[in-house]
Chains A and B, each alone.
Chain A
């Protein structure tokens, strides 16, 4: 359900990257979604379609790559793959961890046409 909130922030970022690089029409956008963010690709695509209306990214295609999660135990430094509802270190059986991967949504690329000089 948070896809819409995220899409709203995403479009702002796409537009600012496009402007900084004199892109006047965005054709494609690549994002990485961390497993722990639980982005459902179909829902994200629908949200994206809603937010690009009337912008320079109106016809852009969104490519989504999911990144798997990785956590590191603060106690024994073991790295392991957490589950959404389980961050217990397999060695310490305690959830005192930092997440190294899979807890972000990252804009990776904006592809488009530049302003004609």
Chain B
């Protein structure tokens, strides 16, 4: 027997992601999926960002193949943290997020930062239900990476060019990177940022607060009126 079907192979994950998105909306928080190669500065960024966002409160879900080190690093400043060890899997699945949500005080929080497993390919395929995808590319990784991993940059809402303090010591063609991104997606925002010097931090915080205001602030107002 031949059964003809038309099913997106990733439908099961996408359906769970859709439900996660509803949960975020009901709880009144925005969820951000942070995607990058290992070592481009995701955890460091969270350590700097979460205290600076206060009094707004942040939750963190961290995906790593092994260890709870990143969770320990952000534990102090975050409202709550869940570490997911993915073992052999190089990305997070939407259902892993769903499972973590039951352990988190969603209603008290304004932001949920999901630090995905360090990988520029697979996390792009698996929607977690996030409201926004933030892709980090650190200066030492080189200015050819947008062209090499175009798919993930095409899906981005924001690209953070991290470790911008290293622009003075490394060869990095910023114009080329911005052109490569513009060829993929005219609607993506791009910010240069350094956790070392604080450069760009204010713009990043503003971007977060604007997104929060647009997504949650507007709705909260709508419901109280």
A residues engaging B (CB < 8 A)? Answer: 1-2, 5-6, 9-10, 12-13, 17-18, 21, 23, 31, 36-38, 84-88, 94-96, 104-114
The stretch from B23-31, B37-45, B178-186, B201-209 touching chain A is B178-186
- What is the interface of chain A mostly: helix, strand, loop, or mixed? mixed
How many A-B pairs with Cβ below 8 Å? 89
> Of residues 67 to 104 in B, which have CB atoms within 8 Å of A's CB atoms?
89-91
Report the interface size for chain B: residues with CB under 8 A from the other chain: 32
State in angstroms the CA–CA spacing of A75 and B6 once bound together. 30
A111 to B5, CA, bound (A): 11
Query: Is there an interface contact between A111 and B1, defined as CB atoms closer than 8 Å?
Result: yes
A110 pairs with B183, CB closer than 8 A:
no
Q: How far is the CA of A103 from the CA of B120 in the complex (A)?
A: 17
Say yes or no: B2 contacts A107, CB within 8 Å: no
Closest partner residue, chain A, to B120 (CB atom)? A1
Contact (Cβ within 8 A) B1 A108 = no
Assess the A108–B6 pair: CB atoms within 8 A: yes
**A112 to B7 CA separation, bound complex (whole angstroms):** 18
Bound Cα distance from A12 to B12, whole angstroms = 9
Distance (whole angstroms) from the CB of A54 to the closest CB of chain B: 17
In the assembled complex, B212 has its CB within 8 A of some CB on chain A: no
- Is A2 in contact with B154, judged by CB distance below 8 angstroms? no
B5 touches A109 (CB 8 A): yes
CA distance A27 to B57 in the complex (A): 53
Shortest distance from the beta carbon of B26 to any chain A beta carbon, whole Å: 27
* B9 interface neighbour in A13, A85, A113, Cβ under 8 Å: A13
Question: Interface code B152-182, partner A: CB below 8 Å = 1, 0 otherwise?
Answer: 0010000000000000000000000000101
Least CB distance from A31 to B in Å reads 7
Q: Flag whether B65 is at the interface (Cβ < 8 A).
A: no
* Residue in A5, A10, A95, A114 whose CB lies within 8 Å of B182: A95
Chain A residue at smallest Cβ distance from B13: A9
Q: Which of A2, A10, A23, A84 contacts B122 (CB 8 A)?
A: A2
Contacts of A105 in B (CB 8 A): 8-10
Partner of B187, one of A9, A10, A96, A107: A96
Q: Any chain A CB within 8 A of the CB of B191?
A: no
Chain B proximity of A105: nearest CB distance (Å): 4
Mark contacts of B135-158 with chain A using CB atoms, 8 A cut-off: 1 yes-contact digit, 0 otherwise: 000000000001100110010000
- In the complex with contacts A85-B180, A114-B1, A106-B9 CB distance below 8 A: yes
- Contact at B10–A9, with CB atoms within 8 Å? yes
Contact, CB under 8 Å: A95 / B121: no
Contacting pair A17 B182 (CB below 8 A): no
Q: 4 other contacts beyond A9-B9, A9-B10, A109-B3, with CB at 8 A cut-off?
A: A1-B90, A107-B7, A109-B2, A113-B1
Q: Which residue of A lies closest to B147 (CB)?
A: A85
Which 9 A-B residue pairs are closest in the complex by CB-CB distance? A85-B150, A105-B9, A96-B186, A111-B2, A2-B122, A107-B7, A95-B186, A5-B122, A110-B3
